[in-house]
């Protein structure tokens, strides 16, 4: 009996015979394909027997004949509709049959069932139908998890709408379906958040708190369509919240996640939802900073949209696949069952493409069973032809691909993170032998981190060090090795030990770069004694000995001056740079020209160079690698050629092109200083020798600094520049000569090795660090650590000795001589009649402050000079607190003024910051107290060109004095008309040495503050500086006071002070 006849009189007992017939004859010859409409109609029948017999048959076919699923899927809608049948048996059979169709579908064909399921979800449908349809979606988690994840952009909107249903059964089924969907998102960064995201869908009030939690998530894994489908509804709710903070957090999450989208087409379905909401917020949010964050997210999504538009043709396209299958199966005119099978095959193939299942065996396994009943051609070849063409659709042309015959040292794809920040994501890196690659990117993008990861063998896919010898050259010395001599330090390197290099060869190579027993840097002295320049030379010498295939150079010219040039013969270079030291030629000091010649001679070595020296990148680089949206882009050519093609990169190297802006706080007035040319710091005939050295480092140095100073301090490495500055700021004390600082002057000093300021506070955020540092009434907790502020044994002994003082008895006017010991200075200070400062003291044995003051000269004899300086420093620092209280908001704004965005300044711990960001923290901390003098030791070493340009702009607008130690001529020539040239410890002044003396302009009177508001919101009155009276005004005031005294009238505070000053009382 044919199936057509059986279907006409179908009973429950016929199910097994139908299955046997289809198995033996096939879906086409048996008549199943042509009669499937009959079976669908009987499944939907309201007659109990008809419905039960058809549902039982369909269930048996779904479970027993896989190739029949192309047609049995047509019965799914009827099964769902019969969930409301009056017969309990039919209801149960409908559910079981629907589940059988879902459970036995070919996983890559599950999308073929979705239109039918979605058609049963509208609110107009009865609740039992919708409940069963939602239960079918939930079953895909176990049947086709990967494929369910791929379909989530389609599923989530449909299921989400049902989670708000008033019918409890529908709401529960929708929630369960959503939970099942969340189980397959495949993103470890957010899978722990799924319960909270689910809560946000049904409880909008929870959105702000959930957004706050999600804002703390570090996104590392590639973001695909499944993860986006789950998160986007939450993000949309966040963008539509009234709270600005929630809107900002949503924008930050969108910006971060979108950068990790490898395939822009994954994001394409969500862009029409997110972009309009973001653009609305970017125009309407009142907070400028939140608006700027939102605008960044808009720009990022627009970039994704542009990429998605370009790649629209590479996604699995059913229409193109339909043409391919018809062509290769010789079925251009297919209809009926053949057409249904081809359409089903297209659905499977498109899902294989979306999930990147492109192996030939995968395609044959999933397609051949479906196609075999209808086509007798060579199916293996036909499927392979379609697969090959489909693979071509997925190819995205690589713009960076370079045709070159050079040996390939590396061709890898990897992701790189630093702390909680993603630096590179699924990026490609290809290196060819003999090429010099300049590595470009803004500060904090991860250039040094990338090179360190390569050197430590932490980059996925990068050749092992046993295959490609890689050497990282940087000037930093590890603390545990700082006590070693230069020779021992190089010899201690594991790679050099493995090569069996002798100490004699190490000493020989060190000699070629200037480490000699009679030179400035001695091979047997500890590396801790080396300046930054000599440390770089030491690192270069160590690299030479390792015979590298790849050299990683981090700012190789930073510390190397251009004042003296060595001479090298071509023969020496050719042999020396290949580390074949068969001939030895004495050389002069290593310098920039030396490094350039060295790099250009390495025909068989590849270099990756991080440098802000545009000359080096122009003269040496064959290629440029740049950081761009978490990817590495490679460009063939040197820096000039790259900048022509990418003009925005000019900001990395040209100070005037910097778009970044720094803003330093202005210093304000100093009591007693009315001219910008008046000296605030002086060194007079100072000579200094480091302990253990016989020859002084500095000889007879005399300098002075004022508010108008703009000084460039230059000199070759080891000449004594940093040592002189340390003397000037009081970090060390001279053996001969005097150093003086105005008692009320505030000094900011950012040292060459700046990180030591913060290395004990890495668990704090920058904001917390600055508030901790200045929390003690405005006193800088780090300022009293200096050697010059610590009491010597002689001073401590003098403090304990009784000192004879003359005390005037107020009642009798008699002078008494008493011996007293000062226990401490309590912090008060005032000017006496001689215009000298007196300091409030507490005597030994006294339980209360005496209220008595002693002159600075007397206290110096008693061993308290440094304590007087500490009082001066504290009062000067406290004066800087009057303009800005030490509040979180004020510190946040201050950090932004020094180039550190509030995202990193307030929300990131310093342990997670990059080197460039840490230095901005140090700079901001130094500038917090509104210094009158700023001293920067080698700022070009730790700031990129964009930040350096911003720094130059801030210095130009700064009203205080500036001293800059630098090798960067462009930087200092722009800012400094005066130059201090240090040569072997001797100082020579060049340029306009008298420039600051000519700046005898009076400091403009600034508006006096009458009160300040502290961090707690309390109003504090500020004592005003007294106006200086003319002789005529003073004479009139004295006359008035005498009259009041004679008449017994009370005097006000100012009159009383004048009376004491003129001995009228």
Residues 792-808 have pLDDT tens digits of 778 888 888 888 777 76
- β-pairing verdict for 961-965 and 710-714: parallel
Token couple for 92: 């149960």
Give residue-wise pLDDT tens across range 658-714: 567 888 888 877 777 777 788 888 888 899 988 878 888 889 888 888 888 888 887
Q: How far apart are the first and last CA of the chain?
A: 136
Helix H or strand E segment including 133: helix 127-143
**pLDDT tens digits, residue range 904-945?**
888 777 877 776 788 888 888 888 888 888 888 777 666 666
Please give the sequence-ordered ranges of beta strands (E in DSSP) within 875-1025, or none if there are none: 933-937, 961-965, 978-983, 986-991, 1011-1013, 1019-1021
The pLDDT of 755-778, averaged and rounded, is 78
In the chain, the largest separation of any two C-alpha atoms, in whole Å, equals: 141
CA distances from 68 to 75, 103, 1006 (A): 12, 14, 91
Coil vs helix vs strand at 498: helix
Among the listed residues 481, 499, 496, 536, the one whose alpha carbon sits nearest the alpha carbon of residue 514: 536
| pLDDT for position 138 | 93
Confidence of residue 565 (pLDDT cuts 50, 70, 90): very low
Look at residue 152 and tell me whether its pLDDT is greater than 70. yes
For residue 255, give the 3-state DSSP assignment.
helix
More confident site: 182 or 473: 182
469 three-state secondary structure: coil
Check residues 620 and 821 and name the one with the higher pLDDT.
620
The pLDDT score that the predictor gives to residue 970 is 63
pLDDT at 562 over 50: no
**Measured between alpha carbons, how far is residue 195 from residues 55, 191, 1012 in Å?**
37, 9, 49
Tokens of 50: 């008809």
Q: What is the mean pLDDT of residues 436-441?
A: 88
Q: Which of 592-601, 894-903, 1012-1021 has the highest mean pLDDT?
A: 894-903
Alpha-carbon span 614 to 304, nearest angstrom? 32
Beta bridge partners of 839: 829, 854
Q: Is 973 a residue whose pLDDT tops 60?
A: yes
Helices (H) and strands (E) in the chain, counts: 44, 24
- What digits encode the pLDDT tens for the residues 1009-1058? 344 444 344 444 544 545 566 777 778 888 888 888 888 777 776 777 77
Q: For residues 641 and 635, what is the distance between their CA atoms, to the nearest angstrom? A: 9
Q: The whole model's pTM is what?
A: 0.53
Q: What is the pLDDT of residue 591?
A: 56
d(CA 498, CA 969): 42
Do the Cβ atoms of 815 and 807 come closer than 8 Å? yes
pLDDT band at 850 (very low <50, low <70, confident <90, very high): low
At residue 1041, what are phi and psi to the nearest 5 degrees?
-65, -45
**Cβ contacts of 149 within 8 Å, gap of 6 or more:** 184, 185, 186, 224, 225, 226
For residues 291-300, average pLDDT: 89
For the CA atoms of 876, 877, 881, 885, the dihedral, rounded to the nearest 10 degrees, stands at: -170
Residue 165 near residue 183 (C-beta atoms within 8 A): no
Nearest Cα neighbor of 202 from 229, 232, 241, 175 is 175
- Over 70: is that where the pLDDT of 111 sits? yes
Distances, alpha carbon 530 to alpha carbons 269, 535, 538, 722, in Å: 59, 6, 9, 12
Mean pLDDT of 776-797: 66
Summarised one tens digit per residue, pLDDT across range 2-57 is 777 888 888 888 888 888 998 888 888 888 888 888 899 999 999 999 999 999 99
Residue predicted with more confidence, 171 or 984 = 171
Q: Per DSSP, what are the bridge partners of residue 712? A: 964, 979
Angle (deg, nearest 10), helices 225-239 and 194-202:
40
**CA–CA gap between residue 676 and residue 679 (Å, rounded):** 8
Q: What is the mean pLDDT of residues 484-507?
A: 85
Query: What pLDDT, on a 0 to 100 scale, did the predictor assign at position 173?
Result: 94
Contact present, 624 and 635 (Cβ < 8 Å)? yes
Statement: residue 741 has pLDDT above 90: no
What is the C-alpha to C-alpha distance for residues 1012 and 1019, in angstroms, rounded to an integer?
A: 6
Instruction: Please give the pLDDT value at position 133.
Output: 94
């Amino acid at each position: 009996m044919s199936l057509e006849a059986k279907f006409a009189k179908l009973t429950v007992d016929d199910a097994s015979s139908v299955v046997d017939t289809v198995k033996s004859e096939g879906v086409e010859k048996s008549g199943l394909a042509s009669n499937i409409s009959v079976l669908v109609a009987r499944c939907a029948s309201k007659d109990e027997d008809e419905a039960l017999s058809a549902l039982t048959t369909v269930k048996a076919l779904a479970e027993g004949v896989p190739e029949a699923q192309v047609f049995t899927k047509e019965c799914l809608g009827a099964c769902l509709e019969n969930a409301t049948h009056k017969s309990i048996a039919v209801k149960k059979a409908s559910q079981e049959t629907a589940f059988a169709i879902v459970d036995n579908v070919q996983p890559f064909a599950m999308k073929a069932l979705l239109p039918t399921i979605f058609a049963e979800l509208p609110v107009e449908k009865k609740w039992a139908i919708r409940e069963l349809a939602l239960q079918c979606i939930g079953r895909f988690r176990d049947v086709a998890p990967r494929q369910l994840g791929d379909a989530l952009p389609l599923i989530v909107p449909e299921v989400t709408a049902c989670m708000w249903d008033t019918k409890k059964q529908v709401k529960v089924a929708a929630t369960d379906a959503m939970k099942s969907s969340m189980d397959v998102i495949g993103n470890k960064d957010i899978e722990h958040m799924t319960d909270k995201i689910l809560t946000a869908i049904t409880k909008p009030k929870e959105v702000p708190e959930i957004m706050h939690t999600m804002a703390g998530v570090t996104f590392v894994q590639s973001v695909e369509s499944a993860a986006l489908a789950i998160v986007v509804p939450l993000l949309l709710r966040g963008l539509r919240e009234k709270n600005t903070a929630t809107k900002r957090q949503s924008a930050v999450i969108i910006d971060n996640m979108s950068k990790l989208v490898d395939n822009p087409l994954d994001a394409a379905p969500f862009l029409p939802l997110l972009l309009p909401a973001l653009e609305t917020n970017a125009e309407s949010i009142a907070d400028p900073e939140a608006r700027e964050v939102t605008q960044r997210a808009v720009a990022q999504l627009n970039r994704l949209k542009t990429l998605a538009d370009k790649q629209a043709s590479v996604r699995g396209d059913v229409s193109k696949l339909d043409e391919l299958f018809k062509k290769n199966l010789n079925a251009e005119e297919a209809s009926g069952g053949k057409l249904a099978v081809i359409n089903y095959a297209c659905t499977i193939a498109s899902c294989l493409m979306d999930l990147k299942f492109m192996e030939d065996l995968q395609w044959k396994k999933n397609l051949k069973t479906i196609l075999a009943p209808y086509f007798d051609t060579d199916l293996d070849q036909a499927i392979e032809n379609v697969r090959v063409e489909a693979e071509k659709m997925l190819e995205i042309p690589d713009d960076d691909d370079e045709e070159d015959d050079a040996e390939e040292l590396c061709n890898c794809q990897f992701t790189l993170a630093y702390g909680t920040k993603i630096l590179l994501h699924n990026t490609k890196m290809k290196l060819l032998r003999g090429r010099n690659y300049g590595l470009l990117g803004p500060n904090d993008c991860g250039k040094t981190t990338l090179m360190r990861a390569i050197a430590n063998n932490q980059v996925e896919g990068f050749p092992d060090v046993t295959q490609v010898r890689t050497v990282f050259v940087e000037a930093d010395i590890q603390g545990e090795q700082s006590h070693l001599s230069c020779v021992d330090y190089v010899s201690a390197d594991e790679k050099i030990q493995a090569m069996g290099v002798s100490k004699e060869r190490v000493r020989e190579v060190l000699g070629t770069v200037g480490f000699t027993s009679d030179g400035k840097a001695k091979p047997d002295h500890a590396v801790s004694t080396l300046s930054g320049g000599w440390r770089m030379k030491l690192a270069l010498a160590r690299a030479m000995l390792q015979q590298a295939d790849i050299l990683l150079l981090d700012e190789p010219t930073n510390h190397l001056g251009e004042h003296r040039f060595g001479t090298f013969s071509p023969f020496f270079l050719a042999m020396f740079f290949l580390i074949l030291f068969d001939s030895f030629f004495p050389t002069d000091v290593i310098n920039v020209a030396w490094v350039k010649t060295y790099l250009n001679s390495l025909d068989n070595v590849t270099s990756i160079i991080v440098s802000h020296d545009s000359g080096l990148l122009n003269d040496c680089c064959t290629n440029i690698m740049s950081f761009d949206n978490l990817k590495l882009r490679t460009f063939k050519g040197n820096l000039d050629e790259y900048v022509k093609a990418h003009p925005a990169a000019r900001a990395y190297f040209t100070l005037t092109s910097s778009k970044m802006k720094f803003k330093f706080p202005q210093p304000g007035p100093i009591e007693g200083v009315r001219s910008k040319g008046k000296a605030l710091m002086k060194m007079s005939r100072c000579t200094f020798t480091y302990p253990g050295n016989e020859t002084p480092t500095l000889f007879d140095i005399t300098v002075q600094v004022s508010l108008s100073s703009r000084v460039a301090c230059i000199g070759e490495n080891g000449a004594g520049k940093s040592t002189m500055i340390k003397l000037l700021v009081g970090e060390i004390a001279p053996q001969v000569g005097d150093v003086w600082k105005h008692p009320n002057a505030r000094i900011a000093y950012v040292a060459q090795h700046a990180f030591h300021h913060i290395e004990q506070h890495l668990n704090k955020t920058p904001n917390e660090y600055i508030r901790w540092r200045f929390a003690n009434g405005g006193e800088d907790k780090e300022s009293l650590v200096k050697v010059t502020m610590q009491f010597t044994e002689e001073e401590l002994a003098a403090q304990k000795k009784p000192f004879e003082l003359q005390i005037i008895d107020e009642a009798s006017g008699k002078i008494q001589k008493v011996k007293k010991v000062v226990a401490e200075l309590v912090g008060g200070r005032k000017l006496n009649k001689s215009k000298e400062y007196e300091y409030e003291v507490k005597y030994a044995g006294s339980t209360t402050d005496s209220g008595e003051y002693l002159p600075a000269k007397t206290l110096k004899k008693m061993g308290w000079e440094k304590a007087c300086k500490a009082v001066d420093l504290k009062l000067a620092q406290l004066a800087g607190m009057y303009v800005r209280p030490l509040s979180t908001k004020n510190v946040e704004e201050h950090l932004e003024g020094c180039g550190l965005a509030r995202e990193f300044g307030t929300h990131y711990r310093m342990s997670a910051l990059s080197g460039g960001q840490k230095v901005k923290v140090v700079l901001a901390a130094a500038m917090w107290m509104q210094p009158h003098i700023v001293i920067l030791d080698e700022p070009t070493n730790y700031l990129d060109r964009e930040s350096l340009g911003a720094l130059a702009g801030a210095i130009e607008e700064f009203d205080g004095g500036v001293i800059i130690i630098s090798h960067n001529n462009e930087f200092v020539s722009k800012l400094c008309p005066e130059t201090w040239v240090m040569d072997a410890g001797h100082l020579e002044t060049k340029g306009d040495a008298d420039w600051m003396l000519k700046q005898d302009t009076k400091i403009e009177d600034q508006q006096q503050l009458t009160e300040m508001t502290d961090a707690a919101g309390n109003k504090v009155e500020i004592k005003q500086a007294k106006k200086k009276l003319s002789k005529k005004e003073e004479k009139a005031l004295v006359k008035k006071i005498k009259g009041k005294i004679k008449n017994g009238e009370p005097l006000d505070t100012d009159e009383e002070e004048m009376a004491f000053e003129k001995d009228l009382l």
